[in-house]
Amino acid sequence: MAVTLNQAAAALDRHVGLPQPRTMIVARRLREAGAFPSGATGVSPILELENFLDLLIAVASACPAHKARQTVEAFKAMTPGGADLSEAPASVRATAGRQLAAIAELAIEGDADMRKLNLEFIKTWPEFAVHFDGGETQRFQPIGSVAGHWQAAGHRTSTAINGAALADALKELFA
């Protein structure tokens, strides 16, 4: 099913609560940076799942629009606890980008457990957290971060996304 940028922005607004105007601004900046598909004149770009997830990352992380591409790239490279997995076998090289893609695929397939997750995009410093139903949390941070420690001075702010809301948006668009 072909998903347009307008449909994706509307679904993020309706289901997840990410404002459509901000989503469109970030999408334009990603497109200008060459990290996003462009449509023809008067035609909305067609998005793949990866494009949709890049847009979700950029908007949920509340990065400045002009830094959207760098933010998405840095986010997708984060590892569990900031561990350096460069020497690890490819089968165990977990990244935030791979984790989010796996969650999205399972949500599209209708996996009930994905609806119980909560995703958290930390704005204050680069971090992505997946909160599981049983109370476990998996945190992804830039390589070399001190895991489990406050990464900056001041308040910690984040965007929390309910797994059921994200699953509804994904199923509406990609199922």
What percentage of residues in the chain have a pLDDT greater than 90? 74
Nearest residue to 69 via CA among 81, 84, 85, 51? 51
Instruction: Show pLDDT as tens, one digit a residue, over the chain (175 residues).
Output: 689 999 999 999 999 999 999 999 999 999 999 999 988 888 888 999 999 999 999 999 999 999 999 999 999 999 998 888 888 888 888 899 999 999 999 999 999 999 999 999 998 888 999 999 999 999 999 998 877 777 777 788 999 999 999 999 999 999 8
**Would you state the pLDDT for residue 36?**
92
Indicate the pTM of the whole model: 0.92
Specify whether the CB–CB gap between 159 and 60 falls below 8 A. yes
β-strand 118-122 against 3-4: which pairing, if any? unpaired
Between helices 49-60 and 20-32, what is the axis angle to 10°?
Answer: 110
Domain boundaries, the chain: 3-174
Specify whether the CB–CB gap between 139 and 151 falls below 8 A. no
Q: Based on C-alpha coordinates, what's the Rg of the chain?
A: 16
Mean pLDDT of the chain: 92
Nearest residue to 100 via CA among 135, 136, 60? 60
Between helices 20-32 and 68-77, what is the axis angle to 10°?
Answer: 90
**End-to-end Cα distance, the chain:** 8
CA–CA gap between residue 20 and residue 17 (Å, rounded): 9
Nearest residue to 84 via CA among 125, 150, 142? 142
